[in-house]
Amino acid sequence: MTSLRLEYQTTSDAQLAIMRSTIRDGAADRPGIYRMLSSDGEVLYVGKSKRVRSRLLSYFRCAYPEEKGARILRSAEKIEWEYTPSEFAALLQELRLIKRFRPRYNVAMKRDGRNYAFIKLTKGAAPKLLVVRGPTGEDADIYYGPFVGALRVGEALRELNDALMLRDCRTDMKMFFSDQTELFQLARTPGCIRHEIGKCLGPCVGGCSAGQYDERVALARAFLDGSDDSPINLLKTEMERLSAELEFERAAVYRDKFERLEALRAQFGRLRFAVENLSFVYTVPGHEGEDKVYLIRRGVVRAEVAKPRSSKDRRTMKQMVEDIFSQPASPTAQVPTHEIDELLLLSSWFRRFPQEMKRTKHVC
Ligand code: SF4
């Protein structure tokens, strides 16, 4: 890691000139990452570039003080940089450092993932499903996604909640299951309209036992995982019954519900396929022969090694590939919280540079 420390206030022209000339003399135009630190060592910002020297020098060309680069530079007292074998390696390293240090300027300016939404299954008694913009960092929650079109998915989720009679109220709503008789008698609360019209089991008013509610949650999870269609079948059966009874207006309402859930099922099917497809061995040529091999499974780098040069290296890598890819994993749209950022990064990388797929090798 190369570093440059300013002994003076960072905003003066003289200090900026020292900083700039040190970068000019010391930094190379090759892939890498850099960090800006405050006087007390706080990592303020982490960035990456294909050409570290050019990128760092561009901070000094900000025309207006309110520009992002100017603001970061004004707050920093020290700049550190290190080189990586490739732009891809820089991207990964940047992500890891941001997750580790959570620099305030990265957090404030975070863009990645903000355009995506996820379906979150909360933890605790009577879990509920809701659409969120990104993981909250509570590891015990389950996330499905990412996907675009939060509004459309939100509508479909409402149908799923209604079909399975799951709650959609405040997360901190107090629950009184029917098998909690003592508590229930002590503190009965009024039910809401969803319970009255048969759209929620009513775990808040003893309308179901904890086990009954959990069974419905399991059905919702199976639906989102693509292994159970009962929510759709419920709507289809109701639609057909109403149609047979010549209640066409009400049948049309059920047809719309049915179609929304069908669309959600199709979207999650595509998502599972896309996540599963991000599983391969990816060889990336590096700066001056520093080639790297990344073993990627379900959109996450599980291991990275220098490209094997000898038969011994090749045997070691073969064993790693077997270990990583032979582990059973059922296709699911469920993504562990700690893997979401990397999944987004990898899918965005291969979308931006589709020609990179030529460097990948799928493992059967
Ligand atoms: S009936 Fe109770 S648990 Fe169900 S949505 Fe209404 S308030 Fe929530």
Has residue 188 got a pLDDT over 80?
no
CA 184 / ligand 1 centre spacing (Å): 15
Q: Cβ(89)–Cβ(284) under 8 Å?
A: yes
* Smallest CA separation from ligand 1 atom 6, residue: 192
Burial 161-184 (b: 16+ CB within 10 A, else e): bbbbbbbeeeeeeebbbbebeeeb
Ligand 1 near 173 CB (within 6 A): yes
The pLDDT assigned to 110 comes to 59
Q: How many helices (H) and strands (E) does the chain have?
A: 13, 12
Determine the atom of ligand 1 nearest the C-alpha atom of 205: 2
Ligand 1 near 194 CB (within 6 A): yes
3-state SS class at 266: helix
* Smallest CA separation from ligand 1 atom 5, residue: 167
The pLDDT assigned to 14 comes to 75
Q: Cβ(296)–Cβ(302) under 8 Å?
A: yes
* pLDDT 10s digits, 103-156: 988 876 555 445 678 899 998 889 999 998 876 655 456 888 888 788 888 988
Which two structure tokens, joined as six digits, stand for 19? 């900083």
3-state SS class at 28: coil
3-state SS class at 8: coil
If you search the block for the tokens 């969120």, which residue do you land on?
Answer: 132
The mean of the pLDDT values for the chain is: 85
Q: How buried is residue 110: exposed, middle or buried, by Cβ count under 10 Å (0-12/13-18/19+)?
A: exposed
Has residue 284 got a pLDDT over 90?
yes
CA 132 / ligand 1 centre spacing (Å): 20
The pLDDT assigned to 37 comes to 87
- State mean pLDDT over 170-182: 83
Determine the atom of ligand 1 nearest the C-alpha atom of 189: 2
Ligand 1 near 175 CB (within 6 A): no
The pLDDT assigned to 117 comes to 84
Q: Cβ(205)–Cβ(191) under 8 Å?
A: yes
The pLDDT assigned to 114 comes to 55
CA 130 / ligand 1 centre spacing (Å): 14
The pLDDT assigned to 215 comes to 93
| String of DSSP letters for 291-344 | -EEEEEETTEEEEEEEPP-SHHHHHHHHHHHHHHHSS-----SEE-GGGHHHHH
Determine the atom of ligand 1 nearest the C-alpha atom of 170: 8
Q: Sketch out the chain's domains with CATH numbers.
A: 2-108 (3.40.1440.10), 117-275 (no CATH), 278-361 (no CATH)
Which range scores top for mean pLDDT: 63-77, 81-95, 345-359? 81-95
The pLDDT assigned to 142 comes to 82
The pLDDT assigned to 6 comes to 43
Has residue 185 got a pLDDT over 80?
no
If you search the block for the tokens 């580790």, which residue do you land on?
Answer: 100
Read off the amino acid at residue 46.
V
The pLDDT assigned to 186 comes to 47
* pLDDT 10s digits, 32-53: 999 998 888 899 999 999 999 9
76 pLDDT tier (thresholds 50, 70, 90): confident
Q: For a pLDDT cut of 70, what percent of the chain falls above it?
A: 88
The pLDDT assigned to 196 comes to 87
Has residue 28 got a pLDDT over 90?
yes
Ligand 1 near 46 CB (within 6 A): no
The pLDDT assigned to 275 comes to 83
Has residue 351 got a pLDDT over 90?
no
Q: Cβ(118)–Cβ(137) under 8 Å?
A: no
Ligand 1 near 191 CB (within 6 A): yes
Has residue 29 got a pLDDT over 70?
yes
Chain centroid offset of residue 118 CA = 8
Read off the amino acid at residue 127.
P
**How many angstroms separate the first and last alpha carbons of the chain?**
39
* pLDDT 10s digits, 208-224: 999 999 999 999 999 98
Ligand 1 near 203 CB (within 6 A): yes
Q: 321 vs 344, which has greater pLDDT?
A: 321
Has residue 286 got a pLDDT over 90?
yes
Determine the atom of ligand 1 nearest the C-alpha atom of 126: 3
Q: State pTM to two decimals.
A: 0.75
181 pLDDT tier (thresholds 50, 70, 90): low
Phi and psi (nearest 5°) for 342?
A: -70, -40
Phi and psi (nearest 5°) for 147?
A: -150, 165
What is the C-alpha to C-alpha distance for residues 36 and 59, in angstroms, rounded to an integer? 11
